Every structure is written in structure tokens, then in C-alpha cells.
Chains A and B, each alone.
Chain A
């Protein structure tokens, strides 16, 4: 099973600041990595798929990079609605796995 390790667990920032979230895989997942945002009481929403492709309707302030084992989600300038938990997910191998999440808090 591919283990995804997200860091940091919590990121304390202010609106307007830049957020950099990391996801490290225990073995190469090529570019088969997605990022999700989840707010309390809501289902997750896909932000980025295949490492760097923004999903439909996702603002340009969200960007993804990386390949192999190291990936980054960047939020260029935090908006109030961006404070949430973010998960990465790989689809390179069965079983599909998620990272433990990074909470972006004010």
C-alpha cells in the first residue's frame, strides 16, 4: 500500500498569505495525485488532479506541482473561504489511498 504523508498537519496563516502544503508518497505515483478541499459538514471537493491540472471551476490561486514522490499544493493568496482541511490522494496503485490531511487555519 502506498502511504501518503502530508505536512504540516496544521498551517496557521492569515488571509492574503501564501499557503504551501506538502504530500510525500512512500513510492512513486508518477503524476497520479489529486488534491481535495473539505469544509466542516461538507463532502470533499477536488481541486487538482494528475498533479497539476485544476478541476473545473477551481480558482487560479490554487496550483499543484510535483511528480514521483513529492507533491505540493500552493494557494497563492488565501481567501477567507480557503480555511479548510486539504487531502491528497493517489491513483497509481491499488488500494487507492489518501493522505492524513492538512488543516489550514486562521
Chain B
């Protein structure tokens, strides 16, 4: 059974940092392209970041570029999102998802349950 389980969400003050983790099981993680996608309360979906299998390609949305860092540990079957200089507008449920499809980016066929990040003073 394929599972993606996010952890590390919580309440943080503006300017603070948080690290999200996504534990992956039931598939060959080292052969998998991954992304983070977020959803602000009551809003639509926003793609945040992408990482390829070997971590040589990392792409970010403009809204988080320079503040967030995506990484992975294939030995631990885990994906990470280090979030620094957090802003109120970063408040959202953050999903990790498997990216499929040859070529650019991919579509997302397996999703975690999401981790809520709240940025508030």
C-alpha cells in the first residue's frame, strides 16, 4: 500500500522557520519525482516546489524562492521542505505528492493527507 505521510506542521510566528517531512512507503522512492503543493484556507491549490530523483533539479514557485528549500533523503524514503522567513500568507495545508509524466514537472497521482502550517503572531 502506497502511503505519503506529512509531519512537522504547526503554529509559527512571522519570520520564523519550520521543516516539513514526508515519509514515503510502498513504492520505490529513489525512482520518484516529488513536489510540494499548498492550499490556503478556503482557497485553491498552489504548486510550491519540485525535486527530481537525484536532487540535481530543484524548482520553486516565485512566492517561496529564496525562502524555502526542498530536499530528499532516498535512503530514508523521505522528502523535506525547509521553510524560512515565514509570512502570514504562507499559512496553508501543505501536501507532498508524487509527480508523474515524462518531461516537465508532472501531474500528481499520489498525495499525502496534508500538514497544516499556520503563521501568526
Contacts and interface: CB of A to CB of B under 8 A. Distances in A.
A98 B101 contact: no
Given A45-B111, A96-B47, 17 more contacts: A1-B62, A36-B45, A36-B108, A43-B113, A44-B95, A44-B111, A49-B100, A89-B45, A91-B104, A91-B105, A91-B107, A92-B104, A94-B105, A95-B59, A96-B50, A99-B44, A100-B44
Interface string A39-66: 0000111100110000110000000000
Interface residues of A, number: 26
B73 interface: no
A55 B44 contact: no
Interface residues of B, number: 23
Contact of B106 (A38, A43, A87, A91): A91
Contacts of B103: 32, 91
Contacts of A89: 45, 47, 107-108
A11 B45 CA distance: 19
Nearest to A45: B111
Interface of A: 1, 32, 34, 36, 38, 43-46, 49-50, 55-56, 87, 89, 91-101
Interface in B40-93: 44-47, 50, 59, 61-62
